[in-house]
Structure 1
Amino acid sequence: MTSRERVRAVVDARWFNRFIIGVIVVNTIGLGLETSPDLMASHGTLIHTVDMTAIGIFIVELAAKFYAYRLRFFRDPWNWFDTVVVGVALVPAGETFAVLRALRIMRALRLISQVPSMRRVVTALLSAIPGLLSILGLLLLVLYTSAVVGVQLFRDAAPDLFGDLTTSLFTLFAVMTMEGWQGIAEEVMAVYPAAWVFFIGYIVVTAFIVLNLLIAVLVSTMENQLSAERWEEDQSIEAVQHARVMEELRMLHDRLDEVQAALPRQTGSPDDLDRAEPAGDQAETTRHAVPPDTALPPTEKPDRLPEPAT
């Protein structure tokens, strides 16, 4: 086994993955502790040491993966994600890069790339984006249309809620989330009692239909992905079983060839058997033949018949 193969075996091992997850958790806790001035005053050196140690471990991990897989390392999108997250931590401290330094907490998101269940959920969300675009477009269309209608109908009754288009959009977004919509509806209905028709229809379309469509698309995409993963697992298991059966058949075939090769040496070749058959028949004939010296003498024929007695 070459050194590259040994490194690949280490980075692909389960214990190594669990070790990286533990480092991510510890580093995430340390980044949270940095927000406490009291803890930084008393244990700031220890917290910074833990942070730098975690960064060093992450760099070694990425370097080992790159050494093991070479250019194939960049074929995995999660490796790109890990590289960007760790690269943000290497940005020097200063006023210019203060925002990037604040993004160090993104290292906690590395749990997504390390935990298979989280990675599966995020992959399902990303793969569902094409199907979600049409539903999101429908939702935005309903929201915009309703906002325009709300401005035209309820501007005079509630100018603080429907005074202009942006205010109406914000108000209807709050209604869509079902947060405090009763107070908004009651304020408008105090002037227009029939306004409940607008609010009930808007809530039914947005909160009960369109949003449930979004959830349905996400669930369907996740089920399809799980089915695809299970199919791949079944295919891999069948491939292993097929290889095992073929190996056993190959061993049986080799054993049969050995037996067939050893058979002529034990019983003789077919030509030898054919040549041996006449000799055996001749011996059998000789064994049953009567020797010449033991043959019975021939019966002599009398010259004349005896005369009958008178």
Structure 2
Amino acid sequence: MKQTSLDSTSAWRLRLAQTMDGRAVQRLVTGLILINAAILGLLTSPPIVSQWGWLLVPLDAIILACFFAELSLRFAARGIALLRDPWALFDCIVVAIALIPASGPFAVLRALRVLRVLRLVSINPSMRKVVQALLASLPGMGNIIMLMSLIFYVAAVMATQLFGERFPEWFGSLTASLYSLFQMMTLDSWSSGTVRPIMEVYPLAWLFFIPYVLIATFMMLNLFIAVIVNAMQSAHEPSPEEQAAAAREQAILDELRALRSEVAELRRQQP
């Protein structure tokens, strides 16, 4: 009797897990996330809040209750093992942020409610692959970041020594030079806003700034892009384990075909 009860409980939890992972529930949750995102955006407008707050605030609370119910059902289906999934843990943290009281020392954290919108990432397999590819690219970016930091530091020291006396607002200190060079790396008015005024005082300043822009912007940023693209391609390729499993399945299929042909040949040879 006890074994029968355990089997029925396991079957019930299995059916619940299949339902929660089903396409209908996923679509419902996706729709609620989109509606909640729109509500959170509308709540940032005081005129809209004064006119429609009586409707938007209860809707936000109802959708939040739906998110709690969804997570509760997932825990009922999988138990505490659900937290072993990083995406499920992320969902729990994002939804739990809504429990922070509106007043008190942690009230500022309620601004993180909008992170609920990011549940679209955890619920969409394609988006999850993109995020996983970005995380996988972080180790490859380490050496690039170190090299770029060296370039920034060397260029900032040189710019401070060369142009700091006449242009202290841009290059008067090491930190000011670092910020100015970072702005130039983004190509934000680097020529008309910074370099041309400096060239009126130092006509040969282009000998410093043009190589810097070429190295920092066109070379280093392209290296970042190359690492990310490579990680994206690797994320869409099958893993070595999947390739090995596919090879084993193909070998088994080949053996079955060979056995079938041998059996057919033996049948033909029988009188």
Task: Bin the TM-score by the shorter chain.
Answer: 0.7 to 0.9
How big is the shift at 1:34?
1.0
In the alignment, what sits opposite 2:235? Answer: 225
User: Mapping of 1:18-29 within 5 angstroms?
Assistant: 18-29=27-38
**TM-score, normalized by length of structure 1?**
0.74
Judge conservation of contact 2:26–2:123 (CA < 8 Å) in 1.
yes
Q: Deviations over 1:25-44 (max 9, x none)?
A: 01111111111222222221
How big is the shift at 1:82?
0.5
Relative to structure 1, the CA distance from residue 85 to residue 237 in structure 2 (aligned partners, 3 Å threshold; closer, same or farther) is farther
Matched, 1:200 2:174: no
**Rg bigger for which structure?**
1
In the alignment, what sits opposite 1:10? Answer: 19
Q: 2:183 aligns with which of 152, 169, 174?
A: 174
How big is the shift at 1:68?
1.5
Q: 2:162 aligns with which of 153, 158, 163?
A: 153
How big is the shift at 1:141?
1.1
In 2, the alpha carbon distance for the partners of 1:82 and 1:238 equals 36
Judge conservation of contact 2:170–2:180 (CA < 8 Å) in 1.
yes
How big is the shift at 1:95?
3.6
In 1, the alpha carbon distance for the partners of 2:120 and 2:245 equals 28
How big is the shift at 1:181?
0.7
Matched, 1:82 2:85: no
Matched, 1:107 2:116: yes
Q: Deviations over 1:235-277 (max 9, x none)?
A: 579859x79x98xx9xxx9xxxxxxxxxxxxxxxxxxxxxxxx
In 2, the alpha carbon distance for the partners of 1:44 and 1:229 equals 50
How big is the shift at 1:156?
2.2
In the alignment, what sits opposite 2:59? Answer: 50
SS in 2 for 1:128: helix
In 1, the alpha carbon distance for the partners of 2:99 and 2:168 equals 50
Out of 231-240 and 20-29, give the one that drifted further.
Answer: 231-240
Judge conservation of contact 2:148–2:216 (CA < 8 Å) in 1.
yes
In the alignment, what sits opposite 2:69? Answer: 60
CA RMSD, Structure 1 to Structure 2 (Å): 2.7
Judge conservation of contact 1:158–1:187 (CA < 8 Å) in 2.
no
In 1, the alpha carbon distance for the partners of 2:53 and 2:162 equals 59
Relative to structure 1, the CA distance from residue 105 to residue 238 in structure 2 (aligned partners, 3 Å threshold; closer, same or farther) is farther
In 1, the alpha carbon distance for the partners of 2:60 and 2:92 equals 17
In the alignment, what sits opposite 1:140? Answer: 149
Judge conservation of contact 2:100–2:107 (CA < 8 Å) in 1.
no
Relative to structure 1, the CA distance from residue 114 to residue 238 in structure 2 (aligned partners, 3 Å threshold; closer, same or farther) is farther
In the alignment, what sits opposite 2:4? Answer: none
In 2, the alpha carbon distance for the partners of 1:234 and 1:99 equals 50
Judge conservation of contact 1:175–1:181 (CA < 8 Å) in 2.
yes
Amino acid at match of 2:84: R
Amino acid at match of 2:156: A
- Percent sequence identity is 41
Q: Which runs of 5+ in 1 are unaligned?
A: 254-310
In 2, the alpha carbon distance for the partners of 1:140 and 1:23 equals 43
In the alignment, what sits opposite 2:194? Answer: 184
Q: Deviations over 1:199-258 (max 9, x none)?
A: 011011110111110110000011011102698499579859x79x98xx9xxx9xxxxx
Q: Deviations over 1:273-297 (max 9, x none)?
A: xxxxxxxxxxxxxxxxxxxxxxxxx
How big is the shift at 1:93?
1.6
Judge conservation of contact 2:155–2:212 (CA < 8 Å) in 1.
yes
SS in 2 for 1:110: helix
In 2, the alpha carbon distance for the partners of 1:186 and 1:153 equals 15
Relative to structure 1, the CA distance from residue 216 to residue 239 in structure 2 (aligned partners, 3 Å threshold; closer, same or farther) is same
**TM-score, normalized by length of structure 2?**
0.84
